[in-house]
Structure 1
């Protein structure tokens, strides 16, 4: 297994991780920005007002995109397992 193959595997794994994290975190960041703007406009400083909507949106995005994320990780893992003879030899 050469350095190029290790680098390719690492870059593929990193890309999958970053993609999955972005899909899960971006909706939460957008909702957090909207809630923070609402809090700044109304001068309400309630901690649960900013936490609860972000938590709900993160859980909803996990429900909708969770199977896609698991499929991406399983495809990557199966790709590694099927290519073991070619990577070692």
Structure 2
């Protein structure tokens, strides 16, 4: 396995990781920002107020984006396993 192949597999791994995590992280970011703005406007400084809506939003995002995320992970895994003979030497 050449260094170029190692670099390419690492690059693909990082790209797939970012691609799969982005929707859930984006949802959590947006919900957290909206709740923070709400807290600043109403001057409610309860720290636990953030967690319940964020958890609900993340679970809803997983239900919505889960099949898409799984499809990307399966395609990446199938690609790695199909080319395993090239990686092993």
Q: Indicate the residue corresponding to 1:14 in structure 2.
A: 14
Mind listing any 5+ residue stretches in structure 1 that lack a counterpart?
Answer: none
TM-score, normalised by the number of residues in structure 2: 0.91
Q: What secondary structure, in the 3-state scheme, does the structure 1 residue paired with 2:50 have?
A: helix
Gaps of 5+ in 2: none
State the shift of 1:60 in Å. 0.6
CA deviation string 1:4-63 (max 9, x = no partner): 011101100100001111111111111111110111111111223211111111111111
**CA-atom RMSD, angstroms?**
1.2
CA distance, structure 2, for counterparts of residue 2 and residue 72 of structure 1:
25
Size of the aligned set, in residue pairs, is 89
Structure with greater contact order relative to length (CA < 8 Å, sep ≥ 6): 2
Runs of 4+ in 1 over 2 A off after TM superposition: 85-89
